[in-house]
Structure 1
């Protein structure tokens, strides 16, 4: 094999492994997010969010800052008591990870599509949109 082709192949392989590793790291951060969200772990959630994060709740027209979100945890803690949150990654590309999440509360469930941007090991942005009023499509 010609040397320049070999260098190109090696560079492409290194880039691919970096992208796969970044996607895996993003997936681990998102797994931690849902685990902390389920138990309303204010400390863990705060650590996972970038200081300048914007959390866009499309369906209710609200954009929360980190401070807004952390301030809402007491209310969320009551809502999430007895719930189950299931999630799966639909795709991860160009620094964005899209997740399908079933929020199964004791009295109802809802299916959400959530998109996360992870940078520097923290969630830098998130957009949440309702998909269905139940999780039958999960």
Structure 2
């Protein structure tokens, strides 16, 4: 009986370790995302997105494919010039990571809640919703 408890404990410990490792990997992908987004790095952003990604922009009612998103980078590059993006993970579980992100543009700032679904080292879904017109709650 003592041995079977050890096996159960060991199996549970390995499961928790793999979940923690997956969350850490997802966090690294999210960090890469914001770094690439800040400099409008098309190659890195494209590498981070799965081919069938769906990016939902709740506030304007738009859903973008990978191609739509990459095509919008020229416009984004002008908007993000001189900006900073601060982000922190609020929670991460079961391949879904929720982030609070402050987009601090030269003339204004916006606080967003963004949820990413990550599988196989790539973002498969993203939902972005405005939280506030400034980042005072960040």
| TM-score interval for Structure 1 and Structure 2 normalised by the shorter chain | over 0.9
Report the Cα offset of residue 111 of structure 1.
0.1
Report the Cα offset of residue 112 of structure 1.
0.1
Structure 1 unpaired stretches of 5+: none
TM-score (norm 1): 0.99
Report the Cα offset of residue 45 of structure 1.
0.1
Distance in 1 (alpha carbons) for counterparts of 2:104 and 2:47: 25
Q: Give a deviation string over 1:19-65, Cα, whole Å, max 9, x none.
A: 00000000000000000000000000000000000000000000000
Structure 1 position 110 matched with structure 2 position 110: yes
Report the Cα offset of residue 122 of structure 1.
0.3
Report the Cα offset of residue 94 of structure 1.
1.6
Partner of 1:81: 81
Report the Cα offset of residue 123 of structure 1.
0.3
TM-score (norm 2): 0.99
Partner of 1:48: 48
* Two-structure CA RMSD over aligned residues (Å): 0.7
